[in-house]
Copies of this chain bind each other. A is one copy, B any other.
Amino acid sequence: MSLVEQVMGEVNQVMGMIDEKQLKDAESVIQKDKRIFVLGAGRSGLMAKGFAMRLMHIGYTVYAIGETITPSIQAGDVLVAVSGSGKTSSILELTEKAKNDGVKVVAVTSHSDSPLGKMGDVTIVVPGATKAGDGVKSIQLLSTLFDQSVHITLDVLCLMLSRRDHVSNDTAKATHSNLE
Which residues of A approach B to under 8 Å, CB–CB? 2-4, 7-8, 11-12, 15-16, 18, 20, 37, 39, 41-43, 46-47, 49-50, 52-54, 56-58, 62-73, 88-91, 93-94, 97-98, 101, 131, 133, 139-142, 144, 147-148, 151-153, 155-156, 158-160, 162, 167, 169, 172-180
Contact = CB atoms under 8 A, between A and B. Distances in A.
B49 A53 contact: no
A127 B150 CA distance: 21
A101 B50 CA distance: 27
Contacts of A42: 53, 176-177, 180
Contact of A3 (B37, B62, B159, B172): B159
A174 B74 CA distance: 10
24 contacts: A3-B156, A4-B153, A7-B155, A37-B179, A42-B53, A46-B53, A46-B68, A47-B50, A53-B68, A53-B69, A54-B144, A64-B68, A64-B69, A67-B68, A67-B69, A72-B179, A73-B178, A89-B180, A131-B173, A140-B158, A141-B172, A144-B159, A147-B151, A147-B155
A42 to B, nearest CB: 6
Given A89-B93, A180-B41, A180-B88, A69 B58 contact: no
A179 B3 contact: no
Contacts of A174: 72
B49 A68 contact: yes
B71 A177 contact: yes
Chain A interface, >50% SS class: helix
Given A11-B11, A66-B180, A131-B176, 11 more contacts: A4-B153, A4-B156, A7-B155, A42-B177, A46-B46, A56-B71, A62-B69, A65-B179, A70-B179, A71-B176, A151-B151
